[in-house]
Chains A and B, each alone.
Chain A
Amino acid sequence: GNSVTQMEGPVTLSEEAFLTINCTYTATGYPSLFWYVQYPGEGLQLLLKATKADDKGSNKGFEATYRKETTSFHLEKGSVQVSDSAVYFCALSDLPNNQGGKLIFGQGTELSVKP
Chain B
Amino acid sequence: GAVVSQHPSRVICKSGTSVKIECRSLDFQATTMFWYRQFPKQSLMLMATSNEGSKATYEQGVEKDKFLINHASLTLSTLTVTSAHPEDSSFYICSATGAYSGANVLTFGAGSRLTVL
Contacts and interface: CB of A to CB of B under 8 A. Distances in A.
Are A and B subunits of one complex?
A: yes
Interface of A: 36, 42-46, 89, 98-108, 110
Contacts of B110: 42-43
Contacts, number: 47
A107 B6 contact: no
B111 A43 contact: yes
B43 A105 contact: yes
Q: Classify the interface of chain B: helix, strand, loop or mixed.
A: strand
B47 to A, nearest CB: 11
Contacts of B105: 100
Given A36-B108, A99-B97, A108-B41, 7 more contacts: A43-B93, A44-B44, A44-B108, A100-B97, A101-B97, A105-B43, A105-B44
Interface in B48-74: 49
Contacts of B101: none
